[in-house]
A = this chain, B = another copy of it.
Amino acid sequence: MKLTVYLAGEIHSSWREEIKDLVKARALPIEFVGPMENHDLSDRIGEEILGTQPNPILRDDAASSINNLRTQVLMNKSDLVIALFGKEYKQWNTAMDASAAVSLGKPLILVRPKELHHPLKELSRKANVTVESVEQVIEVLSYIFSEK
């Protein structure tokens, strides 16, 4: 049994690397996928492929069309989704991805600092589990594979 896990959420910190390292240290059979982590490239990918756009909104539309394609391809392949919310940014695309995961029947782990609980309370109730740290994520992932 091997799992594919989609890591949704902010691309400004190194939380994905931490998870990958910890999973590797425990030798759990997990393949990770996720969004483009190069924020700059993620914002300009639309114009890079489709050419210069007439204004910033259309520049954003072009980029998000390609980012959404990527997310849909990779989330369809995943067995589990982990969505992390940080203290900054609007992160509406993370909420969107987390909700899409639940609607697709894919289990969801929510990661957020405790002080963000109030605005995330509805999403937290839709998630299977809500935790506060990357270490807790690893504990949950390990638990799926341990039998006794």
Contacts and interface: CB of A to CB of B under 8 A. Distances in A.
Interface of A: 1, 3-4, 31, 33-34, 36-38, 41, 45, 48-50, 54-58, 60-61, 63-74, 76-77, 79-80, 85, 89-93, 95-100, 102-107, 109, 114, 116-126, 128-129, 131, 136, 139-140, 143-144, 146-148
B122 A64 contact: yes
B140 A57 contact: no
A21 to B, nearest CB: 15
Given A36-B143, A131-B49, A136-B49, A92 B119 contact: yes
A70 B122 contact: no
Given A90-B120, A96-B122, 17 more contacts: A1-B4, A37-B147, A49-B131, A54-B55, A56-B118, A57-B117, A58-B58, A61-B125, A67-B122, A68-B122, A69-B109, A70-B144, A92-B119, A92-B123, A93-B95, A96-B99, A98-B99
